[in-house]
Amino acid sequence: MRPIAVALAGLAVLAASACTAPTPPRTAAVAPPPSGPATLPAPTGEHPVGTTVLHLKDTSRPDPWNLDAGARELKVTLWYPAEERGGPRAPYMSAKESELVLKGLRSANVPPDTLSRTRTNAVADAEPAGRELPLVLLSPGFTKPVSTLTSLAEDLASRGYVVAGIDHPYESYATTLADGTVAECLACDSDTDPGFGTGVARIRAADASFVLDRLPSAWDGSAVLDRSRIAMAGQSIGGASALAAMVRDPRLRAGINLDGSTYARIPKSGFSRPFLFVGAPEHVPGGRDPSWERDWKLLTGWKRWIVVTGADHQSFTDGPLLQGSLGITPAYGALPAQRSAELTRTYVAAFLDRHLKAQERPVLDEPSPRYPEVRFCPSACDS
């Protein structure tokens, strides 16, 4: 477990996390002026996208980080196919959340509301459309709000999924609670403790199960859900939590880990539900993070292990898409931002289409000339 790194240039710290293999240091460059608000790429599916926010309180357990909170409260952002395309676009995050996230990232010389001005594609509180839609839970990296996975969530919603993004309070630099207060990162003081990653994954697995329990009654649009087709995906510790939640909760039929070390112990008899690893080159067999290689041997069902050339830890989030708005020059050789988003969206959607919609997706079966950056492990991904 490594501590959160100090950013050399603002958002570059998004590549760091307490819950993944370390990334080699890069030479700092002179930052260009910010380019103005970022605009997330348009979703690629046929459906317009709506979004809404729920606040759910689990009174059966105390908050593990805030001893003054009598219950665990979660903020859940839903993205879903919508009836209409027109209407005000939802904010990426609030101005206060932006201020605290940038403070946590130690981004200097950037207006504190910069991230709140990011342009999204989803219509706030739009009427849900469709029926019997599969559900995907989404969990972000440590210290990051789930809004940093908005590009992926909007795209999945446009393809006919309901996405429930979970903000885990006190594990993020900023989470707005039901009463309007903004919870800051209390867990950040403990991220180098022994067993920290295992503990966080366990907490988030419980959060995921609680969301599945409550969502049908808490969301007015829940009639569109098919509760027999549910998966979970996450980035960094969120990806570790996807596997931990699957081991705990049989309602989760499939899972995806985007560049996160794993901590949940898989039964020695094996685990047969479908799972996808997608990561940066540090995750090749024999690399600095042995957890995927350990777990690969215990996954007995459908599985894929994909490594993306040129990617780093932030490549599977909105991080690269936000760099220009923060005046950050991408590192030499880094995967371009739009390409990062395309690859993440393509392979995540293909996996979910296959396992929640029973649709064949050949891109998962062998290397594709359209995506030469993608290598299939363990047989064809030598570092």
User: What is the predicted pLDDT for the residue at 11?
Assistant: 42
**Tell me: the pLDDT tens digits for 209-244?**
999 999 999 999 999 999 999 999 999 999 999 999
Say whether pLDDT at 94 is over 70.
yes
Query: What are the boundaries of each domain within the chain?
Result: 10-22+36-377
Residue 7 has pLDDT above 60, yes or no: no
Position 176 pLDDT exceeds 70: yes
Residue 9 has pLDDT above 60, yes or no: no
Please tell me the CATH code under which domain 10-22+36-377 is placed: 3.40.50.1820
- Most confidently modeled of 131-135, 188-192, 264-268, 282-286? 131-135
The label of the residue with tokens 């950037």 reads 110
- Radius of gyration over every alpha carbon of the chain, rounded to an integer in angstroms: 19
Which comes out higher in pLDDT, residue 33 or 316?
A: 316
Q: How many other C-beta atoms lie within 10 A of the C-beta of residue 288?
A: 13
Assess whether pLDDT exceeds 90 at residue 262: yes
Residue 259 dihedral angles phi and psi, to the nearest 5°: 65, 35
Cα-based angle 87, 118, 182 (whole degrees, multiple of 5): 95
At a CB cut-off of 8 Å and minimum separation 6, what does 15 contact? Answer: 23, 312, 313, 314, 319
- pLDDT attached to residue 217: 97
Burial 183-215, CB ≥16 within 10 A → b, else e: bbbbbbeebeeeebbbebbbbbbbbbbbbbebb
Q: Are 64 and 74 in contact (CB under 8 A)?
A: no
pLDDT at residue 200, rounded to an integer: 97
pLDDT reading at 16 higher than 50: no
pTM for this predicted structure? 0.92
Q: What is the mean pLDDT of the chain?
A: 91
Strand, helix or coil for residue 253: coil
Residue 8 has pLDDT above 80, yes or no: no
Region 314-321: mean pLDDT is: 96
In the structure, what pLDDT confidence band is assigned to residue 120 with cuts at 50, 70 and 90? very high
CA–CA dist 194, 185 (Å, integer)? 18
Q: Average pLDDT of 273-289?
A: 94
Res 30: pLDDT: 54
Percent of the chain with pLDDT over 90: 81
